[in-house]
Amino acid sequence: MNGYDFSLSGARLTARASGTLWWAAEGLLCLSDMHLGKAERMARRGGAALPPYEIRDTLTRLEAEIEALSPATVLCLGDSFDDLAAADALSQAELDWLARLQAGRRWIWLEGNHDPGPIALGGTHLGELALGPLTFRHIAEPGAQGEISGHYHPKAGLRGAARPCFLLDDSRLILPAFGTYTGGLRSRDPVLAGLMQANARAILTGRRTQVLPMPR
């Protein structure tokens, strides 16, 4: 499947194989943890050298989602940039690309732990967003209801290599990381196991979605 339809707190949503979330009734496209500029940030801090095409790859995939869905709103759930200096280091071509993606729609940047301050790249910068029955934030809060978050870059699989995944239960949804160089946390990690209810599902991304009980 290219997407998995489900309801959370009465909102009808689609977890897409790309790793984005689509709320058709609101015309809202949601994604998390792009970590744009990770290669630049690691080079700046003397870390391992990464191929310098991660921004291009991430924005190409985001552009494909926007072209497919024509969202009225794009909501980025935080850690859109690997740090605030990485946002400042974007090339003019990358800035122009983001401006084209933002044109004609509402664009919301939620703050993350990597990018906690406002960025001068158009759109609106918020700590979190409440919309209808749902609350969007970067990091999940225990006990929340109708919550959509990111941060943990969840991954899961039955056999072999794990795939980025959504984690879903009756109270919350955690999105996978959308960025090209983001790594991930296995769903069996105690942090994720402690957040998710016993009936939680993992929605694997990739060429198609695959739904399975959350591995623990």
pLDDT of residue 83: 73
The H-or-E segment that residue 13 falls in is strand 11-16
CA nearest neighbour of 39 among 94, 77, 78? 94
pLDDT of residue 1: 64
pLDDT of residue 42: 59
pLDDT of residue 40: 66
CATH 1.10.3470 fits 3-213, yes or no: no
> Is the torsion defined by CA of 49, 52, 55, 57 positive or negative?
negative
Give the pair of three-digit tokens for residue 158: 């039955």
Residues 168 and 201 sit within 8 Å (Cβ to Cβ): yes
Mean pLDDT by 10 residues, the chain (216 residues): 93 98 98 83 60 84 98 96 78 93 97 79 94 98 97 89 95 96 91 96 96 95
Q: Residue 16 half-sphere exposure, CB side, CA atoms within 13 Å?
A: 21
pLDDT of residue 114: 79
What residues does each domain of the chain span? 3-213
The Cα 167–Cα 131 span in angstroms is 20
What does the angle CA 10 – CA 28 – CA 177 come to, to the nearest 5 degrees? Answer: 95
pLDDT of residue 97: 95
pLDDT of residue 90: 85
